[in-house]
Chains A and B, each alone.
Chain A
Amino acid sequence: MAENTTIKKSGLSLGLKIALPVLALILTLALFVFTDPTAVFQRGLPPVEDLTITRVEVVEGGFRVQVYNDGPDPVEIAQVLVDEAYWQFTVNPDAVVPPLGSREVFIPYPWVRYEAHVVTLLTPAGMTFSAEVPLAAPLPGFGWNQFWAYGLIGVFVGVVPVILGMLWFPALRQLDRRWLEAVLALTLGLLVFLLLDTFLEALELAREIPEFFQGVPLAVLTGMLTWLLLEAVGSGSGKNASGERSGLYLAGLIALGIGIHNMGEGLVIGAAFAAGESALGTFLVVGFMLHNITEGVGIAAPLLPADGEEGGARGVPGVLTFLWLALLAGAPASIGAWIGGFAFSPVLATLFFGVGLGAIWQVILAVGGLLVRRAEQRESPVFSWPNLAGFTLGVLVMYLTGFLT
């Protein structure tokens, strides 16, 4: 009998075979919804009201509030408070926020420039969901001036310091050979710091976005996929005859990883200016400039000729190469500043930081591998005192200049 059935079923088309489990699932779901055993637990419970305010824009004559409904039930915005006072409002298209949906609330309000306000939404049950406007100032409008300004800020934060850092390259070349690995270790220290930094920022963002986006998995998985993607893309290329990645290829990788990280920094700075916090923005720019000089050193490090390599023409790429690397690492800061300045979205930012996470992780593995191989070539320990010193210096410099950001 069983055999007969098998034979019979094998006659079914592939499409039907694929569809069968789906149909069965639909039937099961229908059965579940119809009988709903969870009704026992839900009896008499009030509807779940769970709103998340994702954005409060300060605009001329009021606030524009973006609100998400995180819960399974529709939630009505019954009233609005601003600084503990009932206020008029309009919602587009209506005040009932559908599950996993969003609404935009406009509150005509005479906000006070450079002061803080708290916007609170009340549901019919009187649950309150609040968000703070830390500093009320009208948003700079979109214009070419703003566009240029954001772009320039990005250049100052990204490209310029990376180039400045690279100017140490000739000096580094003069170093005793055993210190070359220490410079690589310094790069590792820098990258480890950036990894932690990116991870923490991603977590911070992830916690704040509506729950259904699953922020932490979103960031971490994005990071993992980015790493795997970069590994897959790079698996066949960039290796020299002995199977080792060329210094330039590695430098490119580092520049890319740092570039994605710098995009996140640009995002923050752009958003700071957009939020009217120009003082903070300026402060951030100076901080990031100092912070990012070290990145230039990091990118240049793998280009230093290793033992056995000719220290001459082959080992030293041209100025143009350095420029390209600096652009790769620095220009994304401008892109970040544009996005942060004109279209900040916490979800998008979480994704960016996730990508940065993966990129930096991949670079750490690559640089770590290079360090190990070079140590093996010279038959010296990886965990040597110069390497430890280099690593410590990398972490320390990043940590200390981090105070400024």
Chain B
Amino acid sequence: MAEQTRQNSFLNRRSFLKSLLTGGLSLTGIAAARRVLGGDPASSKASMPPPEGARHEGEEHENPFGAVGEVDHARNGFDPQEMLYDWDYGEVSSLPDGQTLREYEFVALDKEIEIAPGIFFPAWTYNGRVPGPSIRCVEGDRIRIHFRNAGSHPHTIHFHGVHPASMDGVPGIGAGDIQPGESTVYEFDALPFGCHLYHCHSTPLKRHIHKGLYGAFVVDPDPELYTGKGREIARTRNHQYPENQAYNEMMMVMNGFDTNFDDDNEVYAANTVAFAYMDRPIPIRGDQIQRVYLINTTEFDSVNSFHLHANFFDYYDHGTTLEPTLTTVDTISQIQGQRGILEFSFQDFEPGRYMFHAHQSEFAELGWMAFFDLQGEGEGS
């Protein structure tokens, strides 16, 4: 938040006087009589719990940090917990030549969503959710997206991947901007394998993206195309193979929301809702390998990042390789539109909460802060 209220220097009485208006002033004797600390527990919404009894009992006793209240996920129509795993494989069929066809229905919709407790953002969405559906397919699959614009502005879908110019989803090329009420079909082969994304490419670009028009486009490698160790790895990456079941695969889109139009985000998150995985940590098991498909769609800030506590991970930049591009790191950064795959294991770790967050402290404290909850023996699922 770039907003600077007023400068800190008050070396003369004029500026000091000004600072007094908002600065620390007194009334101590009287104020003591009407302490708010105890609050009136019976009062409405923000008869928020008094700081002593903050959300996480005990743990947050001396650290009343974080947002107050809860987001109504049902009203939003999507839940960050489910979003981690709700891969969309599309309507699957076979083309005459044997190629797998995956068809998707995408509708652009204007929708107000709750991005932090009590804070509502007038979003532009694909299928009423931010991020949009997480497309999951296999390299070489035929992808066919039926796109209808039911929003109030022209939109497109631009996929990161290999495709013809006419399928690029940018204004003025192919179908170009899809006007409100109109439709088009995007069709291409899913290539190359990796962790990709799609987003609206209408202009003004910044606004169309930060309003919420983006999502994951994950292309699994086809093991048949590789040999030796590469094939083994590809089998773990491909959702159609049993080896994939040993992995707990999560989709996380790092995003931000500028609620006051100052070209700076007031809310940061993984999967839209501030502190969603802090209020409800993501349960994980030690006997699974964790794999995070991480995508950065944050606007206004050039870089976002992911930092894992108490552990290290291997990183596959863009997910387009079968061997990690970085090994044994605990922090990676992604520029706008960059993405990658993280792999790590909590095997034999002490059960409990393990934090992960943007290592820009500002982003972390504005919502992009979360926990894995490593289940003990017999706990959880």
**Given A84-B365, A89-B46, A130–B5 Cβ distance below 8 Å?**
yes
**Given A90-B50, A104-B36, A124-B120, A405–B13 Cβ distance below 8 Å?**
yes
| B27 at the binding interface (Cβ < 8 Å) | yes
| A272 at the binding interface (Cβ < 8 Å) | yes
**Given A108-B64, A204-B18, A57–B119 Cβ distance below 8 Å?**
no
Contact with B along A25-69 (1 / 0, CB 8 A): 000000000000000000000000000011111110110100000
CB of A275 within 8 A of CB of B24, answer: yes
| Surface stretch bound by A, among B37-45, B171-179, B185-193, B331-339 | B37-45
CB of A134 within 8 A of CB of B23, answer: yes
| Surface stretch bound by B, among A5-13, A316-324, A338-346 | A338-346
- Name the residue in B26, B119, B362 with the highest tally of chain A Cβ atoms < 10 Å from its Cβ: B26
CB of A126 within 8 A of CB of B266, answer: yes
Q: Shortest CB–CB separation between residue A405 and chain B, in angstroms?
A: 5
Q: How far is the CA of A271 from the CA of B26 in the complex (A)?
A: 8
Q: How far is the CA of A77 from the CA of B11 in the complex (A)?
A: 33
In the complex, the chain A residue whose C-beta lies closest to that of B11 is A280
Q: How far is the CA of A90 from the CA of B51 in the complex (A)?
A: 8
CB of B31 within 8 A of CB of A204, answer: no
Chain A hits for B14, CB < 8 A: 200-201, 204
Chain B hits for A140, CB < 8 A: 26, 28
Tally of contact residues, A, Cβ under 8 A: 78
Chain A hits for B50, CB < 8 A: 90
| A365 at the binding interface (Cβ < 8 Å) | no
Q: Which of A64, A90, A134, A209 contacts B19 (CB 8 A)?
A: A134
CB of A64 within 8 A of CB of B36, answer: yes
CB of A268 within 8 A of CB of B20, answer: yes
| Surface stretch bound by B, among A115-123, A223-231, A299-307, A389-397 | A115-123
Q: Which of A88, A90, A139, A346 contacts B24 (CB 8 A)?
A: A139
Q: Shortest CB–CB separation between residue A137 and chain B, in angstroms?
A: 7
- Name the residue in B20, B65, B66 with the highest tally of chain A Cβ atoms < 10 Å from its Cβ: B20
CB of A208 within 8 A of CB of B45, answer: no
CB of A344 within 8 A of CB of B26, answer: yes
| B117 at the binding interface (Cβ < 8 Å) | yes
Chain A hits for B11, CB < 8 A: 280
CB of B16 within 8 A of CB of A88, answer: no
| Surface stretch bound by B, among A91-99, A173-181, A368-376, A378-386 | A91-99
In the complex, the chain A residue whose C-beta lies closest to that of B367 is A86
CB of A79 within 8 A of CB of B119, answer: yes
In the complex, the chain A residue whose C-beta lies closest to that of B63 is A110
Q: Which of B6, B34, B65 contacts A86 (CB 8 A)?
A: B65
CB of A57 within 8 A of CB of B46, answer: no
Q: Shortest CB–CB separation between residue B46 and chain A, in angstroms?
A: 3
Q: Shortest CB–CB separation between residue B347 and chain A, in angstroms?
A: 33
| A136 at the binding interface (Cβ < 8 Å) | yes
Q: Shortest CB–CB separation between residue B269 and chain A, in angstroms?
A: 11
CB of B23 within 8 A of CB of A95, answer: no
CB of A78 within 8 A of CB of B117, answer: yes
**Given A88-B51, A130-B5, A140-B28, A405–B43 Cβ distance below 8 Å?**
no
**Given A58-B24, A122-B119, A268-B13, A95–B46 Cβ distance below 8 Å?**
yes
CB of A78 within 8 A of CB of B19, answer: no
| Residues of A234-259 contacting chain B, CB below 8 A | none
Q: Shortest CB–CB separation between residue A350 and chain B, in angstroms?
A: 10
Chain A hits for B257, CB < 8 A: 126
- Name the residue in B1, B4, B23, B120 with the highest tally of chain A Cβ atoms < 10 Å from its Cβ: B23
CB of A208 within 8 A of CB of B67, answer: no
**Given A59-B31, A78-B117, A125-B120, A90–B260 Cβ distance below 8 Å?**
no
In the complex, the chain A residue whose C-beta lies closest to that of B44 is A94
Q: Shortest CB–CB separation between residue B101 and chain A, in angstroms?
A: 41
| A128 at the binding interface (Cβ < 8 Å) | yes
In the complex, the chain A residue whose C-beta lies closest to that of B46 is A95
CB of A128 within 8 A of CB of B17, answer: no
| B85 at the binding interface (Cβ < 8 Å) | no
Chain B hits for A109, CB < 8 A: 64
CB of B44 within 8 A of CB of A86, answer: no
In the complex, the chain B residue whose C-beta lies closest to that of A138 is B24
Chain B hits for A137, CB < 8 A: 24
Q: Shortest CB–CB separation between residue B230 and chain A, in angstroms?
A: 45
Q: How far is the CA of A125 from the CA of B118 in the complex (A)?
A: 9
| A87 at the binding interface (Cβ < 8 Å) | yes
**Given A131-B22, A205-B17, A342-B26, A88–B66 Cβ distance below 8 Å?**
yes
CB of B16 within 8 A of CB of A268, answer: yes
CB of B36 within 8 A of CB of A78, answer: no
Q: Shortest CB–CB separation between residue A337 and chain B, in angstroms?
A: 12
Chain B hits for A105, CB < 8 A: 36
Q: Which A residues have a C-beta under 8 Å from some C-beta of B?
A: 53-59, 61-62, 64, 76-81, 84-96, 104-106, 108-109, 116, 118, 120, 122-128, 130-137, 139-142, 200-201, 204-205, 208-209, 268, 271-272, 274-277, 280, 284, 287, 341-344, 346, 405
15 A-B residue pairs with CB within 8 Å: A59-B28, A76-B45, A78-B119, A79-B116, A81-B366, A93-B40, A93-B43, A118-B5, A124-B119, A139-B25, A209-B21, A268-B13, A284-B13, A344-B25, A405-B12
Q: Give 8 closest A-B pairs by Cβ, nearest first.
A: A126-B259, A95-B46, A85-B365, A78-B118, A142-B29, A131-B22, A108-B51, A88-B64
Beyond A126-B267, A137-B24, A343-B27, 4 extra complex contacts between A and B, CB < 8 Å = A271-B25, A280-B11, A346-B20, A346-B21
